[in-house]
Structure formats: structure tokens, C-alpha cells
Amino acid sequence: LGLSDTTDRSSPVQVGTGNNWIELSVGGYHTLLLNSNGTLSAFGRNTEGQLGIGSSGFINGINSIGNLSNWAKISSGEFSSYAIQSNGTLWSWGRNNNGELGSSNTTSRSSPVQVGTESYWAQIGGGGQYFLAIQSNGTLWSCGTGQFGLLGLSDTTNRSSLTQVGTESYWTKIFPSRNFVLALQSNG
């Protein structure tokens, strides 16, 4: 809950004292927070490095992720995290058993690492053990576990690099869950 303890609560309680949070993303066991000043914070289970603080272990209170202040979008997967900086670059960290970090390998990371060199990412969505991203040109990309056809690539093969899904260029939003994906096109 980010309250610096392990006590269950049955009614709403303010987390921390800040009032500048503009976005949050809840993963399988952790939460990412984006502040209006462009900084990132996180709390929760960190056994896979999904909090991005350079170490592992449970974190009960809110912790800052590095000292950068140019983050623009965030998304949490089950055991991983994703963010886009204001310059359009894509970053990931956490568990990478199925290539869900998009880093062309299966090495897990406990700190944010840039995915590729492109700077035109517009939307991201972390799922169970995979993630999807939309580029500013409207193309859809995926990587991670291909189980159940989650990557939209007409097979069940795992991918450790972002791979374009089809040839369409009118994707606007993605909604990945643990075992299925929904996506919205610009034509509604």
C-alpha cells in the first residue's frame, strides 16, 4: 500500500504527503507513480527488480527511481516496469525471463535501461509477462511471452525484441491484461 508498514486497511488512507501525482500504474505486485515534476517513484514487491531502484527486496514506502525528471508515461507488468521519457525514448526494468523487457536478451534489470535507440514511442502497456508499445506513427509492437498468442504475431513464440504487429498504422491505445489484450484503433 506504500504506507511504510504491513498493516491491512479496510478504508482509504492517503499514501505519503505529496499531492503532485499525475499517473499511477499497478503491476502484479508493485506500483509505479509519476509526479508532475517528471520524476518516478515506486513501492511494493521488488524481488525481480521491478521497482527500478537498483536492488531487490520488498519496499513498503514510496521510493524514488533515480534522479531523472523527464518521464512522461508509465506502465507496470506483472514483474516488470516500463516508461517513456519526454523525448520519446522507451525504458524497461524488472524480470525478463521471456524477453518482456524488449532488450534482445533475457537478462533481468533492477534499474531502467533504454530499449533500442528510437525516440518516437507514444504509448506503452505492460501485461503479464509481455508488453506492447505504440509508436508515434500508429504502429503496434510487442515482445515477451507468446503464450496464448498474446503478442498478436499469429504464433506462440516468445520474442525478446520488439516486433511489429501487422502492418496497420492506426493504433491509439492498448490494454494488456495477464492473459489477453485489447487495443483501440483511431477509427474507433
Averaged pLDDT for residues 108-112: 96
Which is nearest to 143 in space by CA: 88, 65, 82? 82
pLDDT at 6 over 90: no
Quick: pLDDT tens for 33-61: 999 999 999 999 999 999 999 888 878 88
Q: What is the mean pLDDT of the chain?
A: 94
pTM of the model: 0.94
Quick: pLDDT tens for 142-163: 999 999 999 999 999 999 999 9
What are the residues facing 35 on neighbouring strands?
Answer: 21
